[in-house]
Amino acid sequence: MALSHAHPLLLLFLVSLFVLPALSIKFFKCSTAGEDIEVKTVDISPHPVNRKGNANITVTGYTSKDIPDGASVGVTLAVLIPISEKTYSLCDVTACPVAPGPFVLTIPNIFNDKALKRRTRAYNVIVTINEEPEHARDVMCVNFVCKMRSSYMSLLSQVTE
C-alpha cells in the first residue's frame, strides 16, 4: 500500500511515534518546589547532547503569580554530586517580569566544559527559579535526565560532517 493512500490518522500516528518521544523530556517536580508554578514541557536541544557542542533547555509552564525580574534561574547537572552549576538572570531567559499566565524559559548553553568532557552517559538536570533576595524555597524546581551522545557517535558525526 502506498503511503499516500494511507489513512491520515494512521499517518499522524506514525509521525507521532517517531517525533514525539524525541521532543518531550519526561520530568519530575522536586519535592521542595512551591505550588504557584506548573511546568508543562521540558525540551533539550540537541538531545542526546553532543560533547563537542553544548545544549539549550526550553521550559514551558504556567504561573498563577508574578515572578519578579530580580529572580534567578539555576541549572545544575549532577551525577550523584553536582558537576556543573549555572545561574542566569530571569530576564536573560524570558521576557520579564513574568505576569500570571503562560511563560517560556529558553536557557542557552547549560553545560560547562567539565561536564561536557566528563565520560558519563547521562546527567540528572535540575532547573530552578528562585526569587531574590534568596528565598529558602524555589518557586519552581524540576528535574529530569539528559542523555549524552556516546563518544563513538560524536566521532561518527565529526567524520560525516
Ligand X SMILES: *[C@@H]1O[C@H](CO)[C@@H](O)[C@H](O)[C@H]1NC(C)=O
**Closest CB to ligand X among 33 and 125?**
125
Looking at the Cβ atoms of 105 and 139, the one nearer to ligand X is 105
Q: How far is the CB of 104 from ligand X (least distance, A)?
A: 13
- In angstroms, the Cα distances linking 96 to 68, 74, 126 are 7, 16, 21
Give Dmax (Cα) for the chain: 63
Task: Please choose, from the candidates 35, 34, 57, the residue with its C-alpha nearest in 3D space to the C-alpha of residue 44.
Answer: 57
Nearest approach in angstroms of CB 113 to ligand X is: 16
46 binding ligand X? (CB under 6 A): yes
As given in the structure block, the three cell numbers for residue 81 are 554530586
- Judged by CB, which is closer to ligand X: 32, or 45? 45
In contact, 129 and 73? CB cutoff 8 Å: yes
Q: Which of residues 55-114 bind ligand X (CB under 6 A)?
A: 56, 108
Residue 92: which residues within 8 A CB-CB, separation 6 or more?
Answer: none
- For the bound state, the minimum distance from the C-beta of residue 128 to ligand X, rounded and expressed in Å, comes to 20
Which is nearer to ligand X, 56 or 72 (by Cβ)? 56
Residue among 85, 152, 71, 73 nearest 124 (CA): 85
In whole angstroms, how close is the CB of 146 to ligand X at the nearest point?
A: 13
The contact set with ligand X (CB under 6 A) reads: 45-46, 56, 108
